[in-house]
Amino acid sequence: MTTTLRAATREDVPLILEFIRALAEYEKLLDQVVADEAMIDANLFGERPQADVVIAEHDGRPAGFALFFHNFSTFRGRRGLYLEDLFVRPEYRGFGIGKALLAHLARLAVERGCARFEWAVLDWNAPAIGFYQSLGARVLDDWRVCRLDGEALSRLAAQA
């Protein structure tokens, strides 16, 4: 049994959306997914790609994915790599696929001169937190994510 990683292509758009929906279902957030194939295609493979995707295949079958992009650390004066989503199908968990994806992204971050590699995890997801910590990740308890979306985003934008 072998796991291979590859960069996603435009032909993977339906698969990427399938992974996004499966992740959202696991996180109990499926009702929040509004992305469709056209949006994924335009934003990942259009004129100005906004993120990259790595597909993990186990014995030639799609097993998981990681979607990431670069951010910038003003304190470090260098870009960072931000993991937006990581998902491995339940039947493929325990085969080292999640670790392989994270190690691949860590290598990309180092090769690209990134100051850090970051992601967020839901506070109730104890298995993921334990897994990340086993790889050496620190969970930053003193930081909270702030988000503007929907009506709140529009309302603030109207004040500009």
**CATH number, domain at 87?**
3.40.630.30
pLDDT by residue for the chain (160 residues), tens only, comes to: 799 999 999 999 999 999 999 999 999 999 999 999 999 999 999 999 999 999 999 999 999 999 999 999 999 999 999 999 999 999 999 999 999 999 999 999 999 999 999 999 999 999 999 999 999 999 999 998 899 999 999 999 999 9
Residues 6 or more apart from 106 whose CB is under 8 A from it? 117
Q: In terms of residues, how long is the chain?
A: 160
User: Structural domain tally of the chain?
Assistant: 1
List pLDDT tens digits, range 85-113: 999 999 999 999 999 999 999 999 999 99
**Phi, psi dihedrals of residue 99, rounded to the nearest 5°:** -65, -40
Catalytically active residues, by annotation: 132
Q: Confirm if 95 and 2 have CB atoms less than 8 A apart.
A: no
Residues 6 or more apart from 64 whose CB is under 8 A from it? 19, 55, 56, 86, 87, 88, 89, 92, 97, 98, 101
Half-sphere exposure of 123 (CA within 13 A, CB side): 6
Q: Would the pTM count as exceeding 0.75?
A: yes
Tell me, what's the pLDDT at 144? 87
Domain holding 116, by residue range, is: 3-157
Residues 6 or more apart from 97 whose CB is under 8 A from it? 3, 56, 58, 63, 64, 88
Question: Strand 52-58 vs strand 3-7: parallel, antiparallel, or unpaired?
Answer: antiparallel
Tell me, what's the pLDDT at 38? 98
